[in-house]
Each structure stands twice: as structure tokens, then as C-alpha cells.
Structure 1
Amino acid sequence: MAPKTVLITGASEGGIGNALALAFQQRGLRVFATARSLSKMDNLSKLPNMVLLELDVTSRQSIEAAAAAVRSHTGEEKLDILVNNSGQSYVGPALDTSIEKVRGLFDVNFFGLVETTLVLGMMVVAAKGTIVNISSVLGHTHMPWLAYYNASKAAVDLFSETLRLEIAPFGVKVLTVAVGGVETNMSNTANVAPPELSEGSLWAVTEKYLAKRAAKEHRWATPPAVFAERVVRDVLNGTNGRVYRGVGATAVWIVTTLLPGWLKDKLVANNEVANNKFDIVRKP
């Protein structure tokens, strides 16, 4: 019997997608690992049952080319598992972020995920397989300075959970992974572009905060291999619906589901990350 197939977006080395590609490959699956550049996946290039594909989730042509490559390699119109992992972050005040930045973020985090699912989804339906959407615990809370990232992940979460109900009658599962702290390149402050504040902005980035956060980042994060192993186990065990994985994910679930609104605000506003990311340099 041919091994099950899985396609993963955003599989660049140092990220969640790369760790998932390794974990699925080690379980004997045939992995289609994708990124915008093949060179970003060099660590996967010599592994058996591993096919590397260029894929830009913001390009319909690129997504369709990847789908055609899967069909060419397998000889079938089927894909057992689709992992929508591509994403980017952005830090900045809600009232001092350009609409171009906002649209670019949603193009990757939400619309890219949706379009990839539109192109490859029926192949998963044909296989009665699983769609895995990588979301974030920040889609369930209102952490300051991350308004648009939070919103993009909230959109992913609701799209994913609604999709799950719509395609359940066809034997397809949809797993939504609300990710907490994971030690990846994207979560490292050094790889998050600083906000481009307007002249005379009410907010100024504090270098002290950035240095402090970067120094603490990995202390409170799950190693990607550990995270990936847990998610792969979820998928292969047939888990359906939303799961919380990564450091702090369960705590966010407790805060967002069990606490009253005033206490949520207090906890978020008093959070060290929220307090130290920006200084108010002048008032209107």
C-alpha cells in the first residue's frame, strides 16, 4: 500500500512547518514540504519520502502548480493531509499601521490559507483525509500591539471550525491548532519586522523591551520537534476540532473561556509583554 501523503505550507527550516515535515516523514508518510524558496528547506532535501516544492500561498498560480505536482507524483487526485501553516507576524499599534501592512498580513495568514484550501481541499475530500489549520492562541485574546495578527488568526479559527462542520458529512476532519509558545524563527523578536511608525506618532518602540523579550523568548517556548510530535499524533489519531498546543496555550484557554471580561483586560494590560513593547511619548 502506498504511504499516506501530506502537504505542508511554510516549511522553511527553523519553523513549525519544517518540524512537522520531519515528524510526518519519520512516521512513514510521503511529505510534500513547501516554501517560497527551495533553499529554505535544505535540511529536508536528502530525506526519503520527502518532495520539496516551491509554493507562495499568496499566488493562485503557485498553489495550482503545487497541486499539479502532487498529482504528478502520486498519480491520484487525492491528498490525505493538508497542513496550512504559512504565516507571518507584525507588531504595531492599531492606529499607526498602514492598510497595506494589514492587507499583506491577511493575504498570508488568512486569504492564502483559504485559497490553498480551495485548490487542494477537494483532493483531501477524495481521500477522506484531514485539513490542519495552524492558528494561534492570540486569535482568542486581545494582546496589545498585535491587533491585526490577532484578527487574522481569529479569522483562521472561525473559518476552520465552520469548515469542519460543512465537510464532516464527507468523512473529512478539520483540526484547528491554537498555537502557544513555540521556539521558532517567526516567534523570535529578531525576525519580526519593527513597526514603521508615522512621523509624530504617539508610540515609540523601546529597544529595552525588544532586547528583554528576545532574551526570554526561548525560555518559555516549546521546542518545535516536541510541538510537531504532539500535533502529528493528534492528526494520526484522528483528532477533530480545536486543540491547544505549545507553552501557555492551556492558560490562554482558561483565561479566555472562564474569566470575566474585566479580569481578562486586567491580565492582558498588566502583562509584561504589553507594558514594555511601547512607551507613550506624547499625548494628543
Structure 2
Amino acid sequence: MIRPSGVSRKDRRKNPRKSGELVVVSGASSGIGAATAGALASMGYHVLAGVRTDSEAEAVRAEGIEPVTLDITVPEHVQALARRIADDPERRALRVLVNNAGMEINAPVEVLPLALWREQFEVNLFGHITVIQQLLPFLRRSRGRIVNISSVGGVAALPVFGAYAGTKFALEAASDSLRREVSAHGVQVVVVQPGGVRTEMAARSGGLSLQLAAAMSTEHQHLYGRLINATVASNAAFLERALPAAKAGAKIARVATRRRPRARYTLGTDAAFIIPLNRFLPARLTDTILTMSHRSRKPRSASTPAPESAGTPS
């Protein structure tokens, strides 16, 4: 069971139990999503926590957290969630939607199969748009808030991150348009840009990259093998000191409930450094800085399994 953590007593005093308000968090089975659901429940909200399996549902079920089956790429799941909110037995309003569900598979643009490009866009972009379209009427009624979990990769695209970063760039753009479209309706749209966070998705990503690298042609091995191995090694080393998911979730919960939020927030020192760097420095200088650490890492064989801590910002 998930026990709310990362929220201070001061925050709990400021946010007594909101018995009349619902919150939806997608991708709530682990990592940032589970931590965000726990933090919001501890503030007093009733959280509809999106999970995909019965075992995940039992793992997250707790006071104030109601698991709901939600694969955001399945329209029937999203429609069922909308019916759950419309038919709420206590007639509670939907206050916040946190779009957190995501996936990440990294490989060079030339190498990553188009099917995996499309799958990442289905999950990281189109799935969120589907949820927004279904739930926006409820949020308009409550003058609620949408929190889209983007990434530092939505502003600065590192080598090998092309597909994942592409989904996040697109989510950033859609969020800007949406914010300008619905502000007059009383609905707020906020983007959160995490850098490196220690999550299961981040831990799996490096291993997936190495598996794809091992299946590359001889030519692609020669062209990209060293880059992929160095990128995975660099990210694995970084994640050892990255932001814990509990701290990320607590901050997202505060952003989700802040009276007058900004349009964007960063999570982690790397995001706070890389985003301004990418914005203000010439592109070629930024290229040099962002690839420097990859060149300094000792590469690992593409067929060698990645350690559990290997991963990427999410």
C-alpha cells in the first residue's frame, strides 16, 4: 500500500481534508505518479489513481486513493473514468488532473523503429490529449487545473533522446495552446519539467537502449555504439544522485494545489541548469556542453545488461 509521504505537517495544516474534491493522477502505479497521488491524498483530496493491472491497484490502494483501470491509449478506459467522475456517489467536483503517464525508449533517430516512435507519441502525447478532451468539461465546471508532466527533454533534446524528447516538445506546445484557450474559462494549465528522477521507468530505460543497440546492424554499431553506451553510462551515474520520486511527487502536489501557480516549474538541479542553458546559449555551444559528459564516460558493450539504476530523465 502507498503511504503518503514527502508532504510536511505545515502543508497538511494548510490543506485540510477536501472531502468535496476529486483529483485524477494517471500513471500512478509507481514513481512520480504514485508519490504525487500519495501526497495529494495526505492533503485531503480523493485521488483517482490510474493503474493498468489488478496487482498495481492493490499496491496503490490506500486512504484517499482509489485505483482506477486507466491505460490512457485505450478510449474505453478514459470514457469509464469520465463516467466514474460524472456518477460520483458523493457528487464531488474534479479539482485537478495530473497527466503523468509515460514511457521512454531511447535510440538514435536513424535506428529507433517507427513503431516505437509511434508508441511513445501515443502514450506521451495523444493519450494525454484524450484524457484532457474527456475531462475538461468537469474542470471547467469546477474552475480546476491541469498539470502536465513534461521533462527537461521537452526543452533540450539530448542525443539518443529524439523520440522521447519529441513527445515532450509536442506536449509543451499543446500545453501552451491549451492554457491560452481555457484561461478565460477559469481553468489553469501548468507544466512541470522534471530532470533526473529516480523511478522505475528511468531504471528500465537504459537497459532497453542497450537491447536496441545490441540488435543494430554492423554499420549502425560502428556509427552509434559508443554514443549509446556512453549515454547510458552517463545517465546511470547521474541517477545515483538524482531527485527521489517522493520529493518530486510532493512538489507536484504543491504545484497542483497552489492558489496562483506559474505556467511552468522545473524539478531538480539539472533541469534548472539545462533549460536556461538551452535557451540563452548559442546552439553549437550548448551541443558541446551537453555531449561533453558522454565523451568522458567509459562505454559499455552494447550487449551488456544495464544496471538497475540506469535510466534517463523523466
TM-score (norm 2): 0.81
- How many Å apart are 1:180 and its aligned residue? 0.7
SS in 1 for 2:73: coil
Cα distance per residue 1:75-100 (max 9 Å; x no partner): 54841100110000011110111111
Which 5+ residue runs of structure 2 have no aligned equivalent?
A: 1-17, 303-314
**Relative to 1, partners in 2 of residues 1:163 and 1:66: Cα closer, same or farther, differing over 3 Å?**
same
**Relative to 1, partners in 2 of residues 1:251 and 1:41: Cα closer, same or farther, differing over 3 Å?**
farther
Aligned to 1:255: 277
Counterpart among 16, 21, 26 of residue 4 in structure 1: 21
Counterpart among 294, 298, 312 of residue 272 in structure 1: 294
Tell whether 2:220 aligns with 1:199. no
Q: Bigger CA drift: 200-209 or 186-195?
A: 200-209
Tell whether 2:74 aligns with 1:44. no
SS in 1 for 2:48: strand
Give the root-mean-square deviation of aligned CA atoms: 2.6
Contact in 2 for aligned 1:133/1:176 (Cα 8 Å): yes
**Relative to 1, partners in 2 of residues 1:41 and 1:274: Cα closer, same or farther, differing over 3 Å?**
farther
SS in 2 for 1:80: strand
SS in 2 for 1:95: coil
Within a 5 Å distance, the mapping from 1:65-76 to structure 2 comes to 65-74=80-89, 76=91
TM-score (norm 1): 0.89
Tell whether 2:256 aligns with 1:235. yes
Contact in 1 for aligned 2:233/2:299 (Cα 8 Å): no
- How many Å apart are 1:120 and its aligned residue? 0.9
Q: Distance in 1 between matches of 2:77 and 2:165?
A: 27
- How many Å apart are 1:260 and its aligned residue? 1.5
SS in 2 for 1:94: coil
Identity in percent: 26
Q: Distance in 2 between matches of 1:44 and 1:209?
A: 36
Contact in 1 for aligned 2:25/2:49 (Cα 8 Å): yes
Q: Distance in 1 between matches of 2:231 and 2:276?
A: 28
**Relative to 1, partners in 2 of residues 1:183 and 1:172: Cα closer, same or farther, differing over 3 Å?**
same
Q: Distance in 2 between matches of 1:244 and 1:276?
A: 30
Within a 5 Å distance, the mapping from 1:102-251 to structure 2 comes to 102-189=117-204, 193-194=208-209, 195=212, 197-203=215-221, 205=225, 209=230, 212-213=233-234, 216-238=237-259, 239-251=261-273
Contact in 1 for aligned 2:195/2:269 (Cα 8 Å): yes
- How many Å apart are 1:126 and its aligned residue? 1.0
- How many Å apart are 1:38 and its aligned residue? 3.2
Q: Distance in 1 between matches of 2:206 and 2:286?
A: 29
Cα distance per residue 1:165-198 (max 9 Å; x no partner): 1100011111101111111111114675232644
SS in 2 for 1:174: strand
Q: Distance in 2 between matches of 1:37 and 1:109?
A: 19
Contact in 2 for aligned 1:185/1:191 (Cα 8 Å): no
Tell whether 2:43 aligns with 1:20. no
Q: Distance in 1 between matches of 2:271 and 2:95?
A: 27
- How many Å apart are 1:6 and its aligned residue? 0.4
Cα distance per residue 1:101-143 (max 9 Å; x no partner): 1101100000001111111111111110000100001111120
Q: Distance in 2 between matches of 1:87 and 1:192?
A: 17
Contact in 1 for aligned 2:27/2:100 (Cα 8 Å): yes
**Relative to 1, partners in 2 of residues 1:28 and 1:277: Cα closer, same or farther, differing over 3 Å?**
farther
SS in 1 for 2:197: coil
Q: Distance in 1 between matches of 2:115 and 2:298?
A: 26
Number of matched pairs: 278
Letter in 2 for 1:202: H
Which 5+ residue runs of structure 1 have no aligned equivalent?
A: none
